[in-house]
Amino acid sequence: MTEPDADIATLVRRIAAALTAKSARLAVAESCTGGWLAKALTDQPGSSQWFGYGFVTYSDEAKQAILGVSAETLVHRGAVSEDVAEQMATGARLASAAEIAVAITGIAGPDGGSAEKPTGTVCFAWAGPGVQLCSTTRRFDGDRAAIRRQSVVAALEGVLVQLTVP
């Protein structure tokens, strides 16, 4: 296992312990990470006890059809927005009946960025009945793989924060 993967695995073990202690399940909705987050979670032995759904909704159409993201939000805010991330997280939680869901949508590059949303812009959201819906936008540096890896780490760190909120 490479050192970066060891960092991710450590985060996943902490999430697994927290979810198990709460008898809770996690769902994920991914765009720019293309399933990397779900893979990281299911690399953990026993993950079927706390992880059941991973949605890879790379296109706007998939976000709408699978997660219920509104066309109006996509048109007015763009796929890379906290509004879309929040709708993705909410849709994933509702479709899976998980207690918590996390969503990632962003621009991993090398193309696709703009002055307003440069490459490396990634939006996250977390949703759940015991977790207030929250979102954030981060800007990461590096190539496509580095941006995607940093996005997975940030999503996992956010799940841990949400799981420790009373």
Q: What CATH number corresponds to the domain at position 13?
A: 3.90.950.20
Q: What is the full per-residue pLDDT of the chain (166 aa) written as tens digits?
A: 344 588 999 999 999 999 999 999 999 999 999 999 999 999 999 999 999 999 999 999 999 999 999 999 999 999 999 999 999 999 999 999 999 999 999 999 999 999 999 999 999 999 987 667 999 999 999 999 999 999 999 999 999 999 887 6
How many other C-beta atoms are found inside a 10 Å radius of the C-beta of residue 132?
10
pLDDT score, position 5 = 86
pLDDT score, position 165 = 73
Residues 69 and 91: beta-carbon distance below 8 Å: yes
Domain that holds residue 118: 3-164
Distance (Å) of CA 119 to CA 40, 69, 78, 80: 23, 22, 14, 11
- The residue type found at 110 is P
pLDDT score, position 27 = 98
The CA-CA-CA angle for residues 54, 109, 52, to 5°, reads: 5
pLDDT score, position 164 = 85
How far is Cα 116 from Cα 60, in angstroms, rounded to an integer?
Answer: 19
pLDDT score, position 2 = 45
Distance from chain centroid for Cα 151? 8
Number of domains in the chain: 1
